[in-house]
Structure 1
Amino acid sequence: MPRGWGVIEALREILPKWAPEVFVYVTQLGDAWVYFLIGALCYWFSDDRERFAFVLAATLGALSLTLALKEFFALARPSETLQFIEATGYGFPSGHAIGSTVFWGILALTIDRWNRGIRIAGASVIVALVVLSRVVLGVHFAIDVLVGVAIGLVYLAFVVKGLRWRPTAAFGLAVVFALAALLLALRTSVTASNLFEPVAALGGTTGALILWSAIDPPDESIGYITGFVGLFVLGVLSYIGLEFPLPLAGVFVINAVVQGGIIAYPRLTGR
């Protein structure tokens, strides 16, 4: 069944010719590296690490849920002729829509600066820009992002109300979603390229769950230089795990170290 509705073409006609160039940068507000950069900094430098550990756990769960849903529906992205930037993999639902809804939404509920209404309004604007960017760039149909936002809101309500801000439960749920994504991917192919993202997700969620369960909320403080060093080291490891042609076991281990490292870093530096 067609999913396009002609929205991509209509937006390209309405918006200025330079709009896609701007949205190339706007869409990065929905990239996973942005979530974990901001999430790690909030977790490391906050006085309420348990609260921000929940933010990280919920975000991991949202990304893993996205992978599982994409594998389940297995619906293609728009054709390459419509894509302003290259995008691979399945298109429905939009991972940027789910991820940005969950991350920016839960961050607005967690931080204690400004008025809560202002925080939620700001998060809503960011989500709206991200989902619009995905359609303008031609990497998702409108239905992909609309359903993605709806799923993100339902998931967000569930983890906040159902899991009651408990990081261990949220990390555990993320592992379940990542395992489901891997099992669904195994239905169609056992190639390394097809299993890469589910294995990476399973490694990251498993590492985070194990380290969180092992250390409890660390209360050690982190200096700015220490934080910079941690971001650099974990960033390099993450880049290696995502960009280098490693065996799947290596992908699992590196992602486990990166996500587990974010959780354990305050305790490690304190020691």
Structure 2
Amino acid sequence: MTDKTTAPSMASTLKSLDTEECIDIWFYRPIGYRWALLFRRLGVSPNAVTIMGIFIGIAAGVCFYYPNLRVNMVGMLLLIWANSFDSADGQLARMTGQKSPLGRVLDGFCGDVWFFTIYVAICLRLMPEWGLWVWVLAIVTGSYHSKQAAMADYYRNIHLLFLKGRAGSELSHSQAVAESYHRMTWRGDFVYKLFEMFYLRYTRSQERSTPRFQEMMAVIRRDYADEAPEWFRTAFRTRSLPLMKYTNMLSFNTRVIALFVSLLIDVPWLYFAFELTVLNAMLIYMMRTHEHFCAQFTMQLKEAAR
């Protein structure tokens, strides 16, 4: 049989059950898997799926501008549809091996565009009542949203690094990103160099927020030839695994549930309040806990290397 007639299992299209959320495992991943099989059969590329998802998500955001429950519910369905495509593009890429730098650019761009549209729609909707102050609230909330998503992504990739090795993780080191950035030219690689410029800032921000983890990684590079020992990998996974639920809650599903509830009760500003209070509390707990056990592991690694 040919590749196109041999369907890979859904499990083979997932990164790791450690980092998958229940809603994703039982809802988005099965739907995304079916989309991926269809798109593979039709010869649609992962990048094309991502682009379709971007426009569906933008349409969803526009629907949230209207103070009409039916229109809002159409937007909710569109956002669910868009996220199923966001799941499908990665699953399709793992099925077919069609991975590219452009795909990475588009995937990172996708969620940002959705939520930018949603934020603008909510602000325009609330302006008659709130005036320009709603934009101040949205800008503050958006800055924390970016931090929450960035740190959730970072901790998830750290976990995958020690669980599956470098091949199973997308964890980046700013030094390597900087080298890639400087190798490119603005004339020949404009889009990729522009992405690397922003990605370098993004990676450096993640590293500045995790000094204890950076110290631990420096010990692994210096004393263990950049290869973490097996006892450490097992112990790290045990300590890191309980935090994966927070990385998931700080990503898509929890914030979208809060968004939907705020729209259903016609109090959309509650979504911003949820981001600033509940999700920030999760972020602080997650970061403090992770930094604490990284400091402990640093001491253990130093002692074991003597």
**TM-score, reference length from structure 1:** 0.28
Of structures 1 and 2, the one scoring higher in RCO (CA 8 A, sep 6+) is: 1
**TM-score, reference length from structure 2:** 0.26
Pick the structure with greater CA Rg: 2
